A and B are shown apart, each in its own frame.
Chain A
């Protein structure tokens, strides 16, 4: 197979392309979902194909196919050239790529227990046991638990001589207890909502989650929320839980630092960014407590890999240093604009998609305080836990999040529960009120497996290393 890939790349070189790369990707996945003890679905899928990206006379073309044969490789290579020629008809400036080394390497993500070798029976028993515990609470209407596993095997080759193999295993899962009464539903999730937590790790991640230990608590909390008061509208201090901080970083920092958005190439769908080029090095994005970096080498991070999908080595890049905006996520096409080389964030959702600038692991560096001490240090406020909904404008300024639960903080102690909490703000105003980030003991890399971008839509798996953090003067309210 490698010979066929080499032959195809050499053929494109002979045709005079400026640059070309080829990715052959095989992905297998297993998805298991149990609801109220009944197995809602167990499915396994296999997906194999290749995509060829050609830069010809400064214009891009990309073609892809699921047919693995010598003839199809040749046909698709020619088609990618034809598409590049069509692109040049309506192109202003030729594309120039930043320099990059040629690599011959193999990267395999860490995986202690191969999730595809763990029996279905073991997995189902875990999920059914989790349901059993949640359903012991008579107020639980729906007990939902799921596990998902992915393995991606990729060969990347380009006309500059790179030949990179990568094998990445991902695991994830979580549970949600839903309580219902008088036409109202409330839910609590563990370890996170929207499918749980994910990592580039093996089945050990699922074991370490210790799902069963938390099922009684989330079902109790879901039921208790039904009779909890509505979160009062106020401007107050909030401490945001780690799993919600992951989404806060994702939406209000991760997306606006994508340089393709900044340059307007995602404007018609995902939108642009308020973090325009003139703000680089100038913008006071957050308080001095805020340090954010992109790091594709974070151990176990869902956005970790060896090389990005244009063959740039995984690396760490500072984004926000002591509150100041200092860096973007870049590609080989966009980095020259900043007189830089790519920092390796071009990622594609499979063989049939072109790589786009995507988040890797966008991490908020840990601070110094214990969570317990931070709560004790808060006279009046709310502890906001676990995402329920998310929305942000198309330049990533005005955001609004709903979370599953708010807990009152009064005189340094956690108090009563509130339901339907929402908080909202303007990104830099909000981050400038951050006066504390919890320390390494509370820092966790959360996996977000559903980040959407691009046309055709691409769903990316990204990570966020974060700890709970405190913000002041935040607008909070209830949904009703």
Chain B
């Protein structure tokens, strides 16, 4: 990686010379490798080194943004000039009151040299062990194993000078038989923390337990959702409801409801970029330190996350959740948590008379009715029928269509243990959630496998 000093000495003179009233640079450098496997063979194996440098400039209240992925001075200066040209021809952004000034952020350990230097050969060796474990059951496996490093720097002419190096390692494993599948995944800043053997055992066991799935009619059931399934729902809730823009547009399920009870008292959902239980990251893309923000606290709607522009619109302060300068979404939560309870998966199953245990979902869509957080999606890779406190057998996959306001009002149990779940932004955050038992969850359709 380039390193703090080199980035600062490359970018600071450009900012200093910028003729714009205010200039900000966001620098992202990364290198990462990813090995994909399917049918118990490696079929894709890739490596990438790349950069992205954004310049955001302001001429009064006129803002321009341009970016390049080239780190030479000529390309950087051209990107800056492009941003200035755009700003000159731009209309004013009334809610822009200036770039943020300098503030201190928490020192976090977010980098593992071993993860950064993990080689394609090391990934292949680990994957080969997965193949061997699956072969003992006559299963095949599919998945991906990635390792890499990034560095993020934010600089502006008002004194912001943030830098953070990160690493991440992620693996997902799907074990397959002729009529069933089982899934497990792991995520960490440190590749040594991935217990690949244990994850493989989980995927294989789920595949084994869900063999010869039986059909189940749609309807309302008690569901036990494993952390991956919860995270997939939460990811959509974030997208449609936790950012200031959807809240201000009135499309969020939190719009007009702050202070009101919208979920069960046992549900607290929050974002905390400084909690290193998660893939912590201390500042946002404007260089503002991340604040801990509750969206829902003990069932009551509490707030949303802001960047500086959306915050000005609501006459409040940024919460430190700005996205990259070109993002139309402006602000999103990237370090999501749901507070754990005092249960565990075993107790959830034992306390269930009739229900469904779900490993994960497929293709959730939350745009049906965003004000009520209505979503639809399919189950996949390990869906089980539970009866009289025991997992009985695998079932064919079902489609749910349900309001998350209703579902999260019907939470009966939450596990104490929480799990890190990867998302598209996993270099700088992830989702950390418990398993949850929810009653009266609505399934509206079924499929043939």
Interface residue ranges, A against B (CB under 8 Å): 31, 33, 38-49, 59-68, 79-80, 82-87, 89-93, 119-121, 124, 128, 141-142, 146, 178, 180, 183-185, 263-269, 271, 274, 352-354, 388-395, 397-398, 400, 402, 420, 422, 424, 426, 455-457, 479-480
Contacts and interface: CB of A to CB of B under 8 A. Distances in A.
A86 B365 contact: no
Contacts of A389: 365-368, 376
B376 A82 contact: no
A91 B447 contact: no
Interface stretch (B63-71, B104-112, B153-161, B411-419): B63-71
A184 B371 contact: yes
Nearest to B67: A45
B328 interface: yes
A395 B127 CA distance: 25
Given A141-B250, A391-B378, A41 B34 contact: no
Contacts of B64: 42-43
Interface string B166-197: 00000011101000010100000000000000
Ranked 10 nearest A-B pairs via Cβ: A86-B120, A43-B65, A398-B447, A43-B326, A389-B367, A268-B142, A180-B250, A389-B365, A120-B89, A90-B128
A268 B257 CA distance: 38
A480 B370 CA distance: 12
Interface of B: 32-51, 63-71, 75, 78-79, 82-83, 86, 89-91, 93-94, 119-121, 123-125, 127-128, 131, 140, 142-144, 146, 172-174, 176, 181, 183, 249-251, 255-257, 325-328, 362-372, 374, 376-378, 380, 397, 399, 401, 424, 444-449
Given A45-B67, A87-B42, A392-B363, A400 B445 contact: yes
Contacts of B362: 271, 393-394
A92 B34 contact: no
Contact of A66 (B39, B51, B119, B144): B51
A46 B34 contact: no
A425 B315 CA distance: 47
Given A43-B67, A90-B127, 14 more contacts: A38-B94, A44-B83, A45-B68, A46-B70, A83-B45, A86-B45, A180-B249, A183-B256, A184-B371, A389-B376, A400-B376, A402-B365, A426-B448, A457-B424
Contacts of B36: 265, 268, 455
30 contacts: A39-B91, A43-B64, A43-B66, A47-B68, A48-B70, A61-B120, A63-B47, A64-B49, A83-B33, A86-B121, A91-B42, A92-B41, A124-B90, A141-B249, A142-B249, A185-B371, A264-B38, A264-B39, A269-B144, A389-B376, A391-B365, A391-B376, A393-B399, A394-B363, A394-B380, A398-B399, A400-B376, A424-B445, A456-B146, A479-B401
Nearest to B43: A265
Contacts of A41: 63, 65, 326-328
Contacts of B65: 41-44
Contacts of A180: 249-251
Given A267-B142, A352-B50, A398-B447, A45 B66 contact: yes
A89 B370 contact: no
Nearest to A93: B41
Contacts of B367: 388-389, 402
Contacts of B63: 41-42
A141 B250 CA distance: 8
Contacts of B399: 391, 393, 398, 400, 424
Contact of A395 (B75, B376, B447): B447
Given A45-B67, A87-B45, A455 B34 contact: yes
A60 B45 contact: yes
B215 to A, nearest CB: 13
Nearest to B148: A456
